[in-house]
Chains A and B, each alone.
Chain A
Amino acid sequence: MTKANAPVIEMLTALADDELVIGHRDSEWTGYAPILEEDIAFSNIAQDEIGHSLVWYTLLERLLQRSPDAMAFERQWLDFRCCRFVAYPRGDFAYTVVRQYLFDEAEHVRLEALAQSSYGPIRDAAARIMKEEAYHLLHSEALVERLGDATDESRRRMHAATATAFPQSLGLFERLEHEDVLVRERVFPGNAKLQTAWIERIVATFGAVSITLPLDGSSKPLCLADYGGRAGDHTSDLEQLIADLHMVYQSVSGASW
């Protein structure tokens, strides 16, 4: 690893870890989702997200000489750089739907920007992942639109889930240590810009089901953002998640599957 690569490594690690960790949380619904069809749909999304983490880990392998398996299964939990948001327990299905929707919209603006990146391999990977993400967004947005305005219980749960998830989800746009370099080198436009584009999109969807977000007149969040993940300052939820994720892999070290 050369010093010049550190900013790209930092960004790719954040991207990959977000995907792996939310994919794992989504997979926890397999067998438990409210209806069979959604169980399969959500398991499918979980597999896609984990597949996307593999795309980013594969790019990292060239820079770090560390395999995707090693990145996913041999790192300590404090070495992960996912935001805290993706690691929180799955909660009820409303929280899961809102989290997935907020994540999918963030992915959308992130990938659109990365598809214009000055760094070729990132540009190509983003264009590939974007096609699959478009379906995730279609699905999670459809669920928000319907559950946000179906019954008293669904409205109550969706309002509560959004109130909890929104401040957490701002962590998706936590500033990276090397952000200035990445912006200057046009690897990506910077988290502040992405967050602004993201807020514009989610306000429209939530507004249609009368869910208001805590924003000021210029669409800046009024709540405290749940930062820390990008610097490795995680909650114990990630520790538990990584222990689950590593359990089988580490039970027989070096086994092939």
Chain B
Amino acid sequence: MSDTQWETYEVFHQAKRGDSHEHVGAVHAPDPQIALQMARDQFARRMACTSIWVVRSRDIAMTDYQDDVFFVHTTDKSYRDPKAFDAPDKLHE
């Protein structure tokens, strides 16, 4: 049987203007406008919200967890770390 589910849209939520949009989950929807409405009801009904983005899940390019070369570090890279100077505390948070 073919999948009769609607497509999924990833939801990005902004709590106040100037903040980054953060990924909060996904919704099923037949099109972007309904996806925005569904996202509003699932994720912005109680939380403070100033803006929502939705992106069709299949439009997101992603890495493969099985791909063992993409992120692998096999040699010492510690010389790249910014250890020779003090960064302000704020950067460490």
Binding site for B on A (CB under 8 A): 35-38, 40-41, 44, 135, 138-139, 142, 146, 150
- B41: which of A41, A142, A146, A150 is its contact (CB, 8 Å)? A41
Complex contacts, A35 vs chain B, CB 8 Å = 6, 28
Task: State the total of A-B contacts with C-beta under 8 angstroms.
Answer: 27
Question: Interface size on B (CB < 8 Å)?
Answer: 14
Binding site for A on B (CB under 8 A): 6, 27-31, 33-34, 37-38, 40-42, 45
User: Is A41 a contact partner of B33 (Cβ separation < 8 A)?
Assistant: no
Complex contacts, B28 vs chain A, CB 8 Å = 35-37
User: Is A139 a contact partner of B42 (Cβ separation < 8 A)?
Assistant: no
User: Is A37 a contact partner of B27 (Cβ separation < 8 A)?
Assistant: yes
User: Is A142 a contact partner of B27 (Cβ separation < 8 A)?
Assistant: no
Known contacts A37-B28, A37-B38, A40-B41; is A142 also within 8 Å of B33 by CB?
yes
Closest to B46 in A: A44
Write the nearest CB–CB distance from A46 to chain B, whole angstroms: 12
**Interface residues of chain A: helix, strand, loop or mixed (majority):** helix
- B34: which of A44, A135, A142 is its contact (CB, 8 Å)? A142
Instruction: List 8 interface pairs A-B (beta carbons < 8 Å), by A numbering.
Output: A35-B28, A37-B41, A40-B41, A135-B40, A138-B37, A142-B37, A146-B34, A150-B30
Closest to A48 in B: B45
* A40→B34 CA distance, assembly (Å): 14
* A135→B38 CA distance, assembly (Å): 12
Write the nearest CB–CB distance from B74 to chain A, whole angstroms: 44
A-B residue pairs, 6 tightest by C-beta: A41-B41, A37-B38, A37-B27, A44-B41, A139-B37, A40-B41
User: Is A37 a contact partner of B33 (Cβ separation < 8 A)?
Assistant: no
User: Is A41 a contact partner of B30 (Cβ separation < 8 A)?
Assistant: no
